[in-house]
A = this chain, B = another copy of it.
Amino acid sequence: MFGFRYFTPTKVVFGKETEYQVADLIREFGGTKVLIHYGGGSVIRSGLLSRVTKVLDEAGIAYITLGGAVPNPHLTLVYEGIELCRKEGVDFLLAVGGGSAIDSAKAIGYGLANEGDVWDFYDYKRKAKGCMPLGVILTIAATGSEMSDSSVITKEEGWVKRGYSSDYSRPKFAILNPELTMTLPDYQTACGCTDIMMHTMERYFTNGGNMEITDALAEGLLRTVKEQAKILAKDPNNYNARAEVMWAGSLAHNGLTGCGNDGGDWMTHKLEHELGGLYDVAHGAGLAAIWGSWARYVYKNCLPRFKRFAINVMGVANEGTDEEIALRGIEAVEDFYREIKMPTNLRELGVKATEEDLVLMAHKCAVGVGGEMGLARKLNEQDMLAIYRMSM
């Protein structure tokens, strides 16, 4: 068991019609001039954006808007947002959308609160000393960015995708109305459930030093998302299932499911980041396409955890050798992915990678993690290449 810090200051306001509380929340945290940052047209089409601006108008809170945050959000838009906010005297950021809008807003916030090039933080050159306060109205349950300390930005030049984490960027508030996620395409819903589970699974597969209560919470969360994802695959407008998944998404990545662990493995995410940088695939689907190959490559080095996971999360019977149980657990995850229409390899993901592509991704991934990384099993560039090949 390891010592840990746990810091989740985000005020969560959860339930139907909670977006109408946005003006009060902005005021509570001192905002007087707001940048509303969003992604594509869905928040316009759904009417959410006009509901939000109406609430702000009625409350007399000034705002400007900036759309265009794409999945794997781009650095160019971040620069644009920083310049716009400086010019307009913005003192509070409101992200309306999913992880893309939130991560883009976090990067804008770093840019506003620090001198110099904001990419320096994502490029590990220096550490941020602050971030402009931000709030969130969430429309996609997936990344957990609404309570997390992390954000991921892609620099278009060379398609370099990098994450940066600091407590400064934890949102001041997160408005979670499950109804806002009901207009999502089924594929995006399934991607979100995969991402949510993976945030907890990354923290779960480690080699010793775990905390029993953290494991119990993690397993409870994973079982819940697994069951609710299957419900949503058949009944996307099920409010209770939407709510379960939405709250799970925040808890899966706010730190709760890693307390007392040694930080987590995170190699599935790193391997997927290269996919996302090169092919612009949906993050959750990319994780699903990689995970089975990663798991089969590492499980013998982390057998007690894979066995426990198989039994306590996937409901595998405690019969046979540990290896057999562990493998049945991995198969059960892949069966689950198929049931919610997620890919289990690159081909199903729609990625036709050449051997050269795999070599390039493995190289970029190894460079990105500083040579080697992983707790379930430490992986170097050759290991990464082997996993990419298995995932074809």
Q: How many copies does the complex hold?
A: 2
A9 and B18 alpha carbons, distance in the complex (Å): 20
Nearest Cβ in chain B — how far from A14, in angstroms? Answer: 5
| Chain B residues within an 8 Å CB radius of A14 | 3-6, 259-260
| Chain B residues within an 8 Å CB radius of A128 | none
Interface residues of A in 341-385 (CB under 8 A from B): none
| Chain B residues within an 8 Å CB radius of A13 | 3, 5
A211 within 8 A of B: yes
A224 and B350 alpha carbons, distance in the complex (Å): 43
| Chain B residues within an 8 Å CB radius of A220 | 213, 216-217, 219-220
Given contacts A1-B240, A14-B259, A259-B247, contact A216 B211 (CB under 8 A): no
Nearest Cβ in chain B — how far from A266, in angstroms? Answer: 21
Interface residues of A in 152-179 (CB under 8 A from B): none
Residue of B nearest to A21 (CB): B5
A3 and B17 alpha carbons, distance in the complex (Å): 10
A100 within 8 A of B: no
A244 and B217 alpha carbons, distance in the complex (Å): 12
Interface residues of A in 203-226 (CB under 8 A from B): 211-213, 216-217, 219-221, 223-225
Interface residues on A, range: 35 or more
A11 within 8 A of B: yes
A216 and B215 alpha carbons, distance in the complex (Å): 12
Q: Please, what's the 1-or-0 string for A1-37, where 1 marks a CB less than 8 Å from any CB in chain B? A: 1111111110111111010000000000000000000
Nearest Cβ in chain B — how far from A179, in angstroms? Answer: 11
A379 and B17 alpha carbons, distance in the complex (Å): 33
A267 within 8 A of B: no
Residue of B nearest to A5 (CB): B13
Given contacts A5-B12, A11-B7, A16-B3, contact A224 B244 (CB under 8 A): no
A7 and B170 alpha carbons, distance in the complex (Å): 13
A243 within 8 A of B: yes
Nearest Cβ in chain B — how far from A136, in angstroms? Answer: 14
Nearest Cβ in chain B — how far from A169, in angstroms? Answer: 15
Residue of B nearest to A250 (CB): B6
Nearest Cβ in chain B — how far from A24, in angstroms? Answer: 12
Residue of B nearest to A210 (CB): B240
A248 within 8 A of B: yes
A56 within 8 A of B: no
| Chain B residues within an 8 Å CB radius of A212 | 224, 227-228, 240, 244
A251 within 8 A of B: yes
Given contacts A220-B219, A224-B216, contact A211 B3 (CB under 8 A): no
| Chain B residues within an 8 Å CB radius of A2 | 15
A128 and B16 alpha carbons, distance in the complex (Å): 29
24 sampled A-B residue pairs with Cβ under 8 A: A1-B240, A1-B243, A2-B15, A3-B16, A3-B18, A4-B12, A5-B11, A5-B13, A6-B14, A7-B11, A211-B243, A212-B228, A213-B220, A213-B221, A213-B244, A213-B247, A216-B220, A216-B221, A216-B223, A216-B224, A217-B217, A217-B220, A217-B251, A219-B220
Which residues in A have some Cβ–Cβ distance to B below 8 Å? 1-9, 11-16, 18, 211-213, 216-217, 219-221, 223-225, 227-228, 239-240, 243-244, 247-248, 251, 256, 259-260
